Each structure stands twice: as structure tokens, then as C-alpha cells.
Amino acid sequence: MSGEILFSTDGDIATLTLSNPEKLNAIDSAMWVALREAFERIAASPALRCVVLRGAGDKAFAAGGDIEEFLTVRATVDDALHYHDTLVAAALDAIRACAIPTVAAIQGACVGGGLEIAGCCDLRIAGESARFGAPINRLGFSMYPGEMAGLLDLVGPAVLLEILLEGRILDAREALQKGLLTRVVDDEKVLDEARASAARIVAGAPLVARWHKQWVHRLMRGNALSGEEKRAAFDFLATDDYKEGLEAFFAKRKPVFKGR
């Protein structure tokens, strides 16, 4: 029986749940496809302003890919390329490319593919007992380059090599110190803190959140901004939300942003 990606909304906040509880939410082929499709739907939904991504239950965010299916889905090089490019890397790319902010709520094991998923989110909030790593060197296979991108952008080559070469499992505090996490909270407060983070995000102007993500990703490419890009950085001047933000500031009231 395969796992599933559960989807729910609460106002303008979407929640995606990685659900494969019999295998600590290990991600199987069908779940990778469903995860990509879910993020593509979310990206095309103008009413949504934030995504919270979590694992079912409190034992694991996701304990990697479903190793039991590797003997079939990665039996040959062609099979492996299809699995990692068309299924896994495509899902991770969809998370990174999602225009609206993403918050990972991490409880328990966050290993292998689970760590890759969390690394593609914008914010990562974990419980004290959460654990992180990618001990695949003990299984005799390497992380596919297309799946390293999010972690490499997040922690840089030194920490990523430490994770991959040693295959060591990090506790939440060490993961925070190494830059894998945004914050660590008590285990029982993870979901509440993730929802509070999402609420703070959606209280801001939604177009501004999208622009902040866009410009951070653009600046990470390293090359200088063009004149056209510099002018585009002031697109907010023509928005109703900019006018609303200033009016609310001067009137000392809470702004009501419409995303336009």
C-alpha cells in the first residue's frame, strides 16, 4: 500500500502532509509525483499565501525514500534517471519554485529524502527531539546531484559534505547551529509554531512575500542585476497593497492586503 500526500486549507494557508505512517512517512514513487502536483496546484492558486509542510503523526517528518521499492524503480541506469529526474528532483524543484512561502514543521526523523524536502522549504521549524541526516553511504548509493541543490544552497559545501561523508545523524540543536533549521521549539509546540509563523507571513502583503522569494533566489545566482531588473524591484509602487500599507501606517490601523 502506497503512501499519500494529504492536502487541506485553513483560509489562505495550505497544509500538505506526507503520510506513510507504517514506514515513518518514507516517500514512495507515487508520493513524489503527488507532491510535485500538489505544489503546482498551490502555485497556481492566487488565494493561498503560505504552505505548511509536515509529516503524519509525530514520529517522523519523513524517513527518506521508500527503500523497499528501489530494487524495481532503480533497477537500471535508465530507471534510476527516470526516478530521480522525473519523480524526485521534479518534486523538489516544484517546492523551490513555489512562489508563495513554505514552512516545514519537523517532528521526529527528517532523513534522506525528508531532509531534501525540508531543505527546499523557506523556513524549517523543528522539535527538540527531531533528528537529521542522510546516512546513505551505509546503503552503498550516493545522493543524486539534482537532489543536492536545495541543501547546498542552504548550508554550503562544507556542511553538506559532512552530512554525506560521515553519514552521522544530527540532533535538532546541532542542525540549528549548522544552518539546517530556522528555529527549534519544544516537541509539543512544533505545529503551533509553524502555524504561527504562517500567520505572520500571511499578515504581510502577499505580493511582497513573492517578490522577496524571487529576489533572494535571483541574488543567489551571483551575477549583477541588469538595469531592467533594478527597475522591476520597484514594481510594488504600482500596487494597491503599497497604497494600503502606507495608508494603514499613517492611520495607525492594521492593513488589509488584497494581493494586487
| Mean pLDDT, the chain cut into blocks of 10 residues (260 residues total) | 90 96 94 96 91 96 89 88 91 94 97 96 98 93 88 94 96 97 97 97 94 91 89 91 91 90
Cell for 3? 503512501
pLDDT at 175: 97
Report the alpha-carbon distance of residue 231 to residue 238 in Å, rounded. 12
b/e for 66-79, b at 16 or more Cβ within 10 A? beeeeeebbeeeee
Report the alpha-carbon distance of residue 160 to residue 162 in Å, rounded. 5
14: how many CB neighbours lie within 10 A of its CB?
A: 24
Residue that is written with C-alpha cell 498551490 in the block = 42
pLDDT at 227: 92
Q: CA–CA distance from 111 to each of 24, 148, 181, 188, 214 (Å)?
A: 10, 13, 14, 20, 28
3-state secondary structure 138-196: HCCCCCCHHHHHHHHHHHHHHHHHHHHHHCCCEEHHHHHHCCCCCEEECHHHHHHHHHH
Residue that is written with C-alpha cell 527518506 in the block = 64
pLDDT at 222: 81
Q: CA–CA distance from 62 to each of 131, 225, 229, 257 (Å)?
A: 10, 38, 38, 35
Cell for 42? 498551490
Task: Judge whether 35 and 84 are in contact, CB under 8 Å.
Answer: no
Report the alpha-carbon distance of residue 16 to residue 43 in Å, rounded. 13
Cell for 44? 497556481
Number of C-alpha atoms within 13 angstroms, CB side, residue 192?
5
Q: CA–CA distance from 72 to each of 78, 142, 185 (Å)?
A: 12, 17, 39
Report the alpha-carbon distance of residue 3 to residue 69 in Å, rounded. 12
Residues 6+ positions from 143 with CB-CB distance below 8 Å = 116, 134, 136, 164
Cell for 53? 509542510
Residues linked to residue 171 through DSSP beta bridges, in sequence order: 131
